A and B are shown apart, each in its own frame.
Chain A
Amino acid sequence: NAGVTQTPKFRILKIGQSMTLQCAQDMNHNYMYWYRQDPGMGLKLIYYSVGAGITDKGEVPNGYNVSRSTTEDFPLRLELAAPSQTSVYFCASSHKGSGANVLTFGAGSRLTVL
């Protein structure tokens, strides 16, 4: 049981390049999320998904796209990288239930755009 796996751990991009951050979970969780973390700013929600085929915008979706074709995978796409997208990105997942919404996080992907 690996939990939430993110790849790559580190990446340097040039302005205007594109890339996809991969996220996979093996806990059969319905909900999946992408956050970015900037120093002193906490976590900002980029996109989330409540199930396969369903995605919705979070607080800071501009410049990103997501898809959820399977329960396990939730990739985050950056189409035209900008320096403002330099950040640490976290994928998370949680189980749909009647109790607390406990998120399981991946280890993070550090992206630098130069």
Chain B
Amino acid sequence: GEDVEQSLFLSVREGDSSVINCTYTDSSSTYLYWYKQEPGAGLQLLTYIFSNMDMKQDQRLTVLLNKKDKHLSLRIADTQTGDSAIYFCAESILRAGGYQKVTFGIGTKLQVIP
């Protein structure tokens, strides 16, 4: 079945790079996602990557996908205090009728130290 795992906590200093890692079990994932949740708010999509891509870059964000090892990472360059949040990894798998089932990890809490 689908399972997405990520570590619970990461602490970095302001200005450093942050790397949040995620592993998933289902090799038939079609897309992998990163969502951000700020305190008291819902999740917001940060970025996603198609499963046949290795890398995607969007300003300070770099997503790396190793499909062989089923490993996804999110790198945030020049981490700022405003990046402090919980980051969720997710995968989607195509089901009958064209529905893409999305499974979320438990979230990694990023703490940025000034």
Contact surface of A with B, Cβ cutoff 8 Å: 4, 31, 40-43, 50, 90, 92, 96, 98-108
Contacts and interface: CB of A to CB of B under 8 A. Distances in A.
Chain B interface, >50% SS class: strand
Contacts of A41: 106
Nearest to B95: A50
A103 B43 contact: yes
Contacts of B33: 100, 102
Contacts of B98: 96, 98
B44 interface: yes
Nearest to B92: A101
B45 A31 contact: no
B42 A102 contact: no
A105 B107 contact: no
26 contacts: A41-B106, A42-B88, A42-B104, A42-B105, A42-B106, A43-B43, A43-B104, A90-B42, A96-B98, A99-B31, A100-B30, A100-B31, A100-B33, A100-B50, A100-B92, A100-B100, A101-B31, A101-B102, A102-B45, A102-B48, A103-B35, A103-B43, A104-B45, A105-B44, A107-B40, A108-B41
